[in-house]
Amino acid sequence: MKKPGEVFADASVYDPGIEAIVPRYDELHDAILNAPPHDRSDEIRVLELGAGTGELTAKLLTRFPNSSVRVVDHSDQMLGQAEQKLDTFGDRATLETGAFPDDYPEETGEYDLVVSSLAVHHLDEDQKQELFDAVHESLAPGGWFINGDVVQFDAPHLEALSGDMIENWVRSKGWQEEDFMDEWEASDDYDNPSTLTDQLVWLRESGFDAVTSIWQYYNFAVYGGQKGE
């Protein structure tokens, strides 16, 4: 049985599959990478939650060559793909199996940056708020949390519009959405997105400053906040 985040039954097809079903996937990653205030030469400690195959991890380690990333995912098959991809970075990447918010983050004041991509939307509302509390606790003063994820619209017509947009995107890749989902054995059974507005409020309630939406394309958004100095 697949776990949340195992969008495709075979993790080896995750990278081409996710680019075919998530519009502007690379642009979402760029927004996450561009958001932190750190200089490229800074020695930053990063926690990545729901790292999947390590695609964003590799980009982080390249963007910040003096950084180290603790890579967390609860799917062993996804981490297997990540291990191969991140081997060239040596001990700068530490891979660990675990779930969030149950297992991670567990530290206090440890990280300069916590990131996540297309993972938090698998949590329900209470779990998201619990996670935001834990992330705030885990950050060093001045540290940032940046999340790129699926969000929900309050307005039904905008939800429908987003659905049409994704269908058109998949079609532009040469697929009908239903055929794509069947061929790649993709599943959204665990999707539980919340509105962007709610999540920005929850970040404020968790103690984050400078809470903001950084980038959005229909129902995909990058947002986050800073732990006060």
Q: What is the pTM of this model?
A: 0.92
Could you give the angle at the alpha carbon of 206 between the alpha carbons of 116 and 141, nearest 5°?
A: 75
Q: What is the CATH number of domain 11-226?
A: 3.40.50.150
Give the mean model confidence (pLDDT) for residues 213-227. 98
Match 């903001």 to its residue by tokens: 212
- What is the distance between the alpha carbons of residues 144 and 107, in angstroms, rounded to a whole number? 15
Strands, E assignment, the chain: 45-49, 68-73, 93-97, 111-117, 139-150, 209-217, 220-226
Domain ranges within the chain, ordered by starting residue:
11-226
pLDDT, tens digit, for every residue of 94-131? 999 999 999 999 999 999 999 999 999 999 999 999 99
pLDDT, tens digit, for every residue of 185-200? 666 667 899 999 999 9
Reply yes or no on whether the pLDDT at 43 is more than 90. yes
| Residue 229: other Cβ atoms inside 10 A | 8
Using pLDDT thresholds of 50, 70 and 90, give the confidence band for residue 1: very low
What Cα–Cα distance (Å) separates residue 148 from each residue in 9, 40, 71, 200? 23, 20, 16, 13
Report cis status (omega within 30 of 0) of the bond before 23: no
